[in-house]
A and B are shown apart, each in its own frame.
Chain A
């Protein structure tokens, strides 16, 4: 990467002037692909957001009111309180998730701790569990009548953590953010060059100094990405605060109140705009940090092989057991609850809750629909994300287009599912767009998507785009640009290099992205609850409906089914791809 003189104007530090030469067929392909990616993100993110932002400048009946909604917002004390509440809660969550996530990922990649395979799966466990089920588990453990609060039926001294409020939200959001932190940080930590560590050892550098001067700087980019991801996820989530938030109001709950409680889309849109602000901030900071990033895995790199160190390994094992143990306990509580007759008064066990015929939501048809939707999302999403990240990261020329692309790829993270879902209804359900000031209208070419499986898949791909995109970017950033340079000088077209070098090098990240898409699509609710077509019921929506109808135990049972599937798919996936993994990563072994 070229260094930019600091005398350049401010904006040019983000969008460095680059000369675009289109001379070969290859360049045409590259630009065409980049254009396609931009179009995809425009349709998925920007176009739907436009009517949403427009709403924030209108009153409920649709007439133009300018900034009146914003004034109302800033002069309502309870809304301002929820802004500061949300900031505080998100900072706490981000710190907790990043610190513990880093330790966990470090243990997985840099130590010879036993049981890594199991920890790798358990660390992601909370991700497999529908958020609502996680919240149910927390209430059953730490609520006023919870197992921990009452000391396991009075056997142990009770411990009341005061769940409802800030405590509950931070614990719940931690369960939600921790796996995401582990995904990004594992990718960041697993790509490194062992030669640096050998050099450090040869120079008799103290391990702590090596950690501070080699390890930490090498994952700086991943670490900063993780902080932003966790912060923004906690900042925009509404599932956890809805269940365990108590009187602690947060912005996402305010949107819920406006949209679901009062059907006031204008105010909901106004608050959503406030939620968008952290992304813009994150984008600016991210661009600044990113300019200093250089590749860590060069063509001459030697992979790092962790050596066993009983003290470190033991310590890491203990910490990982604690963290994973917590996630497992929450999960087991959910499973247990699905067998209990009447929690917490009649603890006799029963199988009656596993009969879905008596309850609504679509039963097994919904379950199969969810699997289909998740598969399409995983395949389509992985392809879109990886090609998009590749074109931005490894492309040449067209710097401004790549910057725009990068920005658009980070926006979805800041969109709460609720906002995204509504935006999709507003945009895709409109057959015609009036052109202001004329009697003409533009036909919406995407209207046909509404009410099909396609819109569900598109919505999911966009909803989870950013984390996958950051994972791909982190992986790509850490591979040496020399690969491309050498290929180019040998006149190998870029798409061949992409297919024969870049993709195999990034196989672990690609597999992670696919799995991430699959399990998220299995459990997500907030966005698709507005757009799922009547003919396609979904399992995660069924859980909400069952819980709504008071059938908590069947909801827990359906959750168990979803978790089982996700873990099963994960195991099959890693089994089937083991050969591929071994072959493509063989160069990492000595």
Chain B
């Protein structure tokens, strides 16, 4: 290599290194709140559009959202709808740079997780005084506000029960009877909020000792623990397994769709959870998000909620939908402490997994 070529090469390398250094340093900014904001807020919040994360069912959204669009035609709602677990995971994963402005109709127990991580902005929407007390966060202003309640229910396939000549179980106690061995499916509490609801309800209703004894007995009859809340009811509807421990809305809907399903509300009472709304904490909170939260507990939309849910946070004059117990509020278990459930969740799941998840291998 000639000297000139070598110098040329050296020059090139020096040039490239300088370029690299400049590019890298240009990317570095001082981490002060102001700097973060300018770098972060490069896209100014569009005041006319909000992003709403929700776990409400699609057919429900199709009824509710047009009402909002009528009242506020200037605000565009971008919705992200998915199952409770996916929405919660997405929300938490985006913690460093939240994309959602509002969470609408997500299980309160999931919102508590987001709240523990400091992701929720306290906000008292207009009309808060009309919301029943046990349906909102007791801090002032509340971190979350409920819109309706859902509860556990059994989906029992009448055709399959008839084939086997079995009575339809009416209570949690019935489910442990030996004749139902291998016929019951429920959601795995480690994968689904509905499953956790049932387990936590048992533990709160019967006390820890008795509760675990009951779950031990139930485990003897359970054929499978499934990975979503609605799945047990779906397989009950198609007769794969005749009894599914699921939740009320699903049981009633499938029955109304013509599947041979009996929605059973257990005599001892049902575990329940609230579907709630919250404002997401971020640097520039869009005023339209607050408008949306005000609307989401208005009497008008609550009437629509009441068409699919027997219990709404804002009382309405809409009669209880067909298929539900006449006095739904009495069906709810009296002991239901969301904070207790949230705090003990890890311990309960660890115990549950130790008892049933590892053991279930031997059966298959």
Interface residues of A (CB under 8 A from B): 22, 61, 76-78, 81, 85, 139, 143-145, 164-166, 242, 246-249, 253, 256-257, 259-263, 265, 341-346, 358-361, 422, 425-426, 429-432, 434-435, 439-443, 445, 447, 450-451, 529-530, 534-535, 545-546, 548-550, 552
B3-32 Cβ-contact flags toward A at 8 Å (1 or 0): 000000100000000000000100111111
Nearest Cβ distance between residue A401 and chain B, in whole angstroms?
A: 16
Chain A residues whose CB sits within 8 angstroms of the CB of B39 once the complex forms: 431-432, 443
Minimum CB distance partner of B23 in chain A: A445
Nearest Cβ distance between residue A4 and chain B, in whole angstroms?
A: 28
Chain A residues whose CB sits within 8 angstroms of the CB of B71 once the complex forms: none
Minimum CB distance partner of A268 in chain B: B89
Interface centre among A166, A256, A422, A534 (most CB of B within 10 A): A534
Q: Is B334 an interface residue (CB 8 A)?
A: no
A164 near B228 with CB under 8 A, answer no
A550 near B230 with CB under 8 A, answer yes
A143 near B240 with CB under 8 A, answer yes
B224 near A247 with CB under 8 A, answer yes
B81 near A249 with CB under 8 A, answer no
A552 in contact with B234 given A261-B85, A425-B90, A425-B93 (CB within 8 Å)? yes
Chain A residues whose CB sits within 8 angstroms of the CB of B353 once the complex forms: 76, 78
The one of B32, B191, B364 that contacts A257, using a Cβ cutoff of 8 Å = B191
The one of A139, A429, A545, A550 that contacts B82, using a Cβ cutoff of 8 Å = A545
B92 near A440 with CB under 8 A, answer no
Chain B residues whose CB sits within 8 angstroms of the CB of A143 once the complex forms: 238, 240
A265 near B92 with CB under 8 A, answer yes
B92 near A263 with CB under 8 A, answer yes
Minimum CB distance partner of A361 in chain B: B58
Interface centre among A253, A257, A529 (most CB of B within 10 A): A257
Nearest Cβ distance between residue A153 and chain B, in whole angstroms?
A: 13
Nearest Cβ distance between residue B249 and chain A, in whole angstroms?
A: 10
A261 in contact with B190 given A78-B353, A360-B61 (CB within 8 Å)? yes
Minimum CB distance partner of B58 in chain A: A360
CA distance A361 to B360 in the complex (A): 35
B191 near A263 with CB under 8 A, answer no
A345 near B191 with CB under 8 A, answer no
A439 in contact with B30 given A343-B238, A548-B83 (CB within 8 Å)? yes
B35-77 Cβ-contact flags toward A at 8 Å (1 or 0): 0100110000000000100000111011000000000000000
B190 near A257 with CB under 8 A, answer yes
CA distance A107 to B354 in the complex (A): 49
A248 near B59 with CB under 8 A, answer no
A432 near B240 with CB under 8 A, answer no
Chain B residues whose CB sits within 8 angstroms of the CB of A257 once the complex forms: 188, 190-191, 227
| Segment of B131-139, B145-153, B252-260 in the binding face | B252-260
A253 near B80 with CB under 8 A, answer no
Interface residues of B (CB under 8 A from A): 9, 24, 27-32, 36, 39-40, 51, 57-59, 61-62, 78-83, 85-86, 88-90, 92-94, 96-97, 99, 110, 113, 117, 159, 188-193, 224-225, 227-228, 230, 233-234, 237-241, 250, 253-254, 257-260, 345-346, 349, 353-354, 357-358, 360-361, 363-364
A549 in contact with B364 given A78-B354, A261-B191, A263-B89 (CB within 8 Å)? no
The one of A78, A346, A360, A442 that contacts B258, using a Cβ cutoff of 8 Å = A346
Chain A residues whose CB sits within 8 angstroms of the CB of B234 once the complex forms: 550, 552
Interface centre among A345, A430, A450 (most CB of B within 10 A): A345
Chain B residues whose CB sits within 8 angstroms of the CB of A447 once the complex forms: 97
A61 near B61 with CB under 8 A, answer no
The one of B28, B82, B83, B238 that contacts A145, using a Cβ cutoff of 8 Å = B238
The one of B97, B254, B361 that contacts A550, using a Cβ cutoff of 8 Å = B254
Chain B residues whose CB sits within 8 angstroms of the CB of A549 once the complex forms: 57-59, 230
B62 near A360 with CB under 8 A, answer yes
Nearest Cβ distance between residue A391 and chain B, in whole angstroms?
A: 20
CA distance A534 to B104 in the complex (A): 15
What would 9 more interface pairs be, CB under 8 Å, given A440-B31, A529-B86, A534-B79? A248-B361, A249-B357, A260-B86, A261-B192, A360-B58, A360-B59, A432-B40, A530-B89, A545-B82
Nearest Cβ distance between residue B323 and chain A, in whole angstroms?
A: 15
> Which 4 residue pairs spanning A and B have beta carbons closest together?
A360-B58, A261-B191, A534-B78, A260-B85
Nearest Cβ distance between residue A175 and chain B, in whole angstroms?
A: 20
Nearest Cβ distance between residue A23 and chain B, in whole angstroms?
A: 9
Nearest Cβ distance between residue B86 and chain A, in whole angstroms?
A: 6
A139 near B240 with CB under 8 A, answer yes
Minimum CB distance partner of B362 in chain A: A247
A440 near B28 with CB under 8 A, answer yes
Nearest Cβ distance between residue A507 and chain B, in whole angstroms?
A: 37
A443 near B88 with CB under 8 A, answer no
A246 near B224 with CB under 8 A, answer yes
Chain A residues whose CB sits within 8 angstroms of the CB of B237 once the complex forms: 550
Nearest Cβ distance between residue B223 and chain A, in whole angstroms?
A: 8
A439 near B81 with CB under 8 A, answer no
The one of B89, B254, B358 that contacts A77, using a Cβ cutoff of 8 Å = B358
The one of B96, B99, B259 that contacts A345, using a Cβ cutoff of 8 Å = B259
A345 in contact with B224 given A260-B86, A429-B96, A440-B31 (CB within 8 Å)? no
CA distance A435 to B237 in the complex (A): 55
Nearest Cβ distance between residue B48 and chain A, in whole angstroms?
A: 14
Interface centre among B51, B191, B225 (most CB of A within 10 A): B191
B239 near A550 with CB under 8 A, answer no
CA distance A534 to B59 in the complex (A): 17
B99 near A359 with CB under 8 A, answer no
B97 near A429 with CB under 8 A, answer yes
Chain A residues whose CB sits within 8 angstroms of the CB of B360 once the complex forms: 247, 249
Chain B residues whose CB sits within 8 angstroms of the CB of A450 once the complex forms: 99
CA distance A144 to B164 in the complex (A): 14
Nearest Cβ distance between residue B33 and chain A, in whole angstroms?
A: 11
Nearest Cβ distance between residue B299 and chain A, in whole angstroms?
A: 25
Nearest Cβ distance between residue A78 and chain B, in whole angstroms?
A: 4
Minimum CB distance partner of A241 in chain B: B227
A441 in contact with B31 given A247-B224, A260-B89, A345-B239 (CB within 8 Å)? yes
A-B contact pairs, 15 of them (CB 8 A): A77-B354, A78-B357, A145-B238, A164-B364, A249-B361, A263-B89, A263-B110, A341-B258, A422-B89, A429-B96, A441-B28, A441-B36, A442-B24, A534-B78, A550-B230
Chain A residues whose CB sits within 8 angstroms of the CB of B110 once the complex forms: 263
A430 in contact with B96 given A342-B258, A534-B79 (CB within 8 Å)? yes
CA distance A265 to B189 in the complex (A): 17
Chain B residues whose CB sits within 8 angstroms of the CB of A256 once the complex forms: 191, 227
Nearest Cβ distance between residue A510 and chain B, in whole angstroms?
A: 33
B28 near A435 with CB under 8 A, answer yes
B93 near A442 with CB under 8 A, answer no
Chain A residues whose CB sits within 8 angstroms of the CB of B250 once the complex forms: 550
